[in-house]
Chains A and B, each alone.
Chain A
């Protein structure tokens, strides 16, 4: 059987697909407290990445007619991305482990030959200490690259660095 088709960069013209509404996962009227997740994307020189496509997926709350669980945000000239969604709860991981509340991100951009995957956790959540993914990262500073900090009312902030000293932890599975 053939292996999976090779990835090729999303390139600079992916906005032909873009519908800014898709960054708002609450647009169909999903009930529950909404949060904003925002941040900036930087390259290895510390410059904002203004042409990226960031996608969000969450397994909790369960996707439904009212809650798609999926969002897509472009980054603007200053590297900002922004999602509106419902705050996830914990989910069951491998074995008996409990995974702390988190969101999954896929990052696509010109200059990325294939997507980068990472996760967003929430600061001060007690479950972070025993989360199976966070526990794989011994270095506290590296671990912090996956943890969003409060940034105003119901708003969380996490910046993503593609390369360099404060590089975000990326994952393969």
Chain B
């Protein structure tokens, strides 16, 4: 980490293109360390692309970008990543704890025995996300919500300073979704950990978010949550009428008009 920096990640005049097509451009934003931000925008706006730029997997076509003050690079150990898909993997052939352990030096070449210390760290990470009870089970034998916890434990085990989650609430039932939100709430209390979460629906996270990166008309912005919770902004963002409703108790939710 660049010692002088106060931003977790930042863009300056940044643009990105895939296959010659500009995905988004003119990104000028800086998100402070410890911030819990949502990443929102319509389908195809380039939300996952933004994560992949910050992960150093896709180069910018213009401008610049930093993660903790340094240019993005592949394999940055400061970032933990929870992708959206599990469907590629054979969940019957691996245990939860193995999946977590792979994030501890699994990228290193050459023969290496996993130490009992790695085992302890992986177990501790599973404990932190409330999934220690499934540690020795095959992934195929744990529920969708528990699989999501295992994925979060895998991202947390190397103690990153920045956590990316891509649609962590997708395909979960209400109870599991609520449990994951509670887990994110507890992670958000760690002010050294910055989080960026791709979501379709802000409502479940409204109480715990600090702000949101939103990609509006092909241009990413960052605003504090209060600014984002605006009927006009959300309506333009989703290209469908959305109303922000504030109850007397101070609860906020959004509603399609």
Partners in one complex: no
Which A residues contact B (CB, under 8 angstroms)?
none
Which B residues contact A (CB, under 8 angstroms)?
none
